[in-house]
């Protein structure tokens, strides 16, 4: 499988795309004014304990209090504590299913350790009280009206190892299939005199030697020691450890030997990516390359077009069939339809062909859009049980490439598949779009931040064509206000970069997303 990572460093956001066989499969976006907080470790203070929900609210210094479930809390923060009813190391390694994603943080879910059995968890009111100070790590971003979800079972990912101070397990990623290699890696970690705690050997550790694993463990141990020291001296609420930027996380977690090239479109981002790669994966550093063509990197790679498609409800299949993706408060519904495809002779074979084609595209869209929670896939009804079994096996096979943890139930007689997918970050739609002011949230439009980044990219791409000395941007009046006030610093930086004046004009008749660029 041809795989590459493409980085677009813009004025207001950095986008990193993963392509497999020239198709966009994953997209990571980090905006200058809103970095991800998943993986951050805080000293928080309990603001409310809710026995009826077996949870507590914790002030960690954000706009909304974080949510802490009883099962996600241990009264101790030291490295010798163990999660309730933790299984033996052998059981842990057998059950492990590491989600090697940049934002994996929760040791029980994201990193695959078995969850503590809920009946063994002490009541929340016996463990926490209002005003108590706690050490917690963010496991889920704030979503909608909900605050961040936190856990006291800390998980610190390195390049080859994930260190969990509150566990006692040595596990190996299930993505490493050879028993001999699994045993070798487990033995290396188990036989060392490492700091107390649990360890997961990540997929990229396959074939690595003892020296590399030991270096990773020592680095993570020192980091945890710093966190503990800061916890003792800091006032609550305060940030004790901040996860690195998205470029570092992608290099650490996704830049593997399967990645043939790592393309970057700006000097600053290139130097940063090369530095990270030289430190973390020196053997792959030569694959980091500077994009030197005039055309925008995402346009030339077909990524921009794929992102636009990923924001639409309907996705067409090559055969003429299509899928429709709808978001609701409770779940995501994906509907498969025959569309323009009518087949040849056998109706059941026609349906099977559409469903099998849809499987690959459905999973690609789930990964690309970062859909999580409950997902219902409505395949076209299949009368023959062997056809349902064939489609289900195909779905499981394609989902094996998804780094997020999934749980899939077999296809029902109605053609429905119920599945869950680990949700850590906002979906692509939540990140890129905002509720439409005209339809009161019934539909969506691109957000101001997304439009700003899009306009700035097109200005950068066309500023030097034809010797233009000025760029005039005509937009909706509210968008004009956004550019001239909220994004004033970004606009000034853009003008400095292109060495051209940029004028903004509000046009009342323009639609919220409409804009026009004139190069004079």
Tokens of 370: 């970062």
Task: Classify the phi-psi angles of 207: left when phi > 0, otherwise alpha if psi is within -120 to 50, otherwise beta.
Answer: left
Quick check: 314 pLDDT over 80? Answer: yes
Tell me what the mean pLDDT of segment 245-253 comes to: 93
Q: Indicate if the pLDDT at residue 427 is higher than 50.
A: yes
Per-residue pLDDT for 260 more than 90?
yes
Q: Is the pLDDT of residue 236 over 50?
A: yes
**pLDDT, position 222:** 93
Average pLDDT, integer, range 296-310: 94
- pLDDT, tens digit, 9 for 90 and up, residues 53-99: 999 999 999 999 999 999 999 876 544 333 333 333 333 333 333 33
pLDDT in tens, 375-408: 999 999 988 899 999 999 999 999 998 888 899 9
What is the band of 41 on the pLDDT scale with cuts at 50, 70, 90?
A: very high
Question: What whole-number percentage of the chain has pLDDT above 70?
Answer: 89
Q: What is the mean pLDDT of residues 445-455?
A: 92
pLDDT at site 343: 63
* Cα 356 → chain centroid: 27
Q: Is the pLDDT of residue 417 over 70?
A: yes
Q: What is the pLDDT of residue 62?
A: 93
Q: What is the DSSP string of 455-517?
A: HHHHHHHHTTGGG--EEEEEE-HHHHHIIIIITHHHHHHHHHHHTSEEEEEE-TTS-TT-EEE
* Of the candidate ranges 99-103, 208-212, 462-466, 508-512, the one whose mean pLDDT is the lowest: 99-103
**Cα 145 to Cα 149: distance, rounded to the nearest angstrom:** 12
Give the per-residue pLDDT at 512.
86
What is residue 202's predicted lDDT score, i.e. its pLDDT?
A: 94
| 444: exposed, middle or buried (Cβ count in 10 Å: 0-12, 13-18, 19+) | middle
Angle, CA of 292, 14 and 459, to the nearest 5°: 60
In three-state secondary structure terms, 99 is coil
Does residue 259 register a pLDDT over 80?
yes
The pLDDT value recorded for residue 485 is 92
pLDDT at residue 355, rounded to an integer: 94
Q: Which pLDDT belongs to residue 77?
A: 52
**Predicted local confidence at residue 303, as pLDDT:** 96
Identify the residue with better confidence: 503 or 116: 503
Give the pLDDT confidence score for residue 80 in this predicted structure: 38
């Amino acid at each position: 499988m041809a795989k590459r990572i493409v980085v677009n460093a813009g004025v207001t956001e950095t986008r990193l795309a993963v392509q497999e066989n020239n198709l966009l499969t994953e997209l990571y976006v980090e905006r200058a004014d809103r970095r991800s907080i998943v993986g951050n470790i805080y000293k928080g203070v309990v603001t409310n304990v809710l026995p009826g929900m077996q949870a507590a609210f914790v002030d960690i210094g954000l706009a909304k209090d974080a949510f802490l479930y009883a099962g996600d809390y241990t009264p101790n923060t030291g490295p010798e504590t163990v999660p309730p009813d933790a299984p033996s190391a052998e059981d842990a390694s057998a059950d492990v299913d590491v989600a090697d994603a940049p934002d994996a943080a929760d040791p029980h879910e994201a990193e695959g350790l078995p969850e503590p059995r809920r009946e063994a968890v002490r009541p929340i009111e016996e463990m926490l009280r209002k005003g108590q100070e706690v050490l917690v790590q963010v496991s889920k971003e704030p979503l909608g009206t909900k605050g961040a979800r936190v856990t006291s079972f800390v998980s610190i990912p390195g390049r080859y190892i994930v260190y969990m101070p509150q566990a006692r397990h040595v596990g190996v990623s299930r993505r490493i299939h050879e028993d001999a290699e699994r045993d070798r890696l487990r033995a290396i970690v188990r036989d060392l005199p490492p700091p107390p705690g649990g360890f997961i050997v990540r997929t990229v550790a396959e074939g690595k030697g003892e020296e590399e694993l030991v270096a990773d463990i020592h680095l993570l141990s020192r980091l945890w020691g710093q966190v503990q020291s800061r916890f003792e001296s800091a006032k609550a609420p305060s940030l004790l450890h901040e996860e690195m930027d998205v470029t570092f996380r992608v290099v650490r977690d996704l830049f593997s030997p399967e990645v043939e090239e790592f393309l970057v479109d700006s000097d600053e981002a290139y130097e940063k990516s090369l530095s990270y790669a030289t430190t973390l994966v020196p053997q792959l550093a030569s694959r980091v390359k500077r994009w030197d063509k005039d055309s925008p990197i995402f346009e030339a790679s077909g990524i921009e077009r794929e992102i636009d498609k990923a924001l639409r409800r309907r996705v067409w299949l090559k055969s003429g069939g299509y899928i429709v993706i709808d978001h609701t408060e409770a779940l995501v519904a994906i509907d498969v339809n025959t569309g323009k495809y009518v087949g040849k002779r056998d109706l059941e074979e026609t349906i099977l062909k559409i469903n099998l084609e849809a499987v690959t595209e459905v999973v690609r869209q789930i990964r690309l859009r970062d859909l999580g929670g409950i997902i219902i896939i409505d395949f076209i009804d299949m009368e023959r049980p062997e056809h349902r079994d064939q489609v289900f096996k195909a779905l499981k096979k394609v989902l094996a490439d998804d780094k997020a943890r999934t749980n899939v139930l077999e296809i029902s007689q109605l053609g429905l598949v119920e599945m869950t997918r680990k949700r850590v970050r906002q979906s692509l739609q939540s990140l890129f779009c905002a509720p439409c002011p005209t339809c009161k949230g019934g539909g969506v439009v691109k957000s101001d931040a997304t439009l700003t980044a899009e306009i700035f990219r097109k200005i950068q791409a066309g500023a030097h064509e034809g010797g233009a000395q000025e760029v005039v941007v005509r937009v909706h009046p509210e968008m004009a206000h956004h550019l001239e006030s909220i994004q004033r610093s970004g606009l000034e930086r853009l003008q400095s970069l292109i060495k051209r004046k940029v004028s903004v004009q509000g046009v009342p008749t323009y639609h919220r997303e409409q804009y026009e660029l004139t190069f004079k």
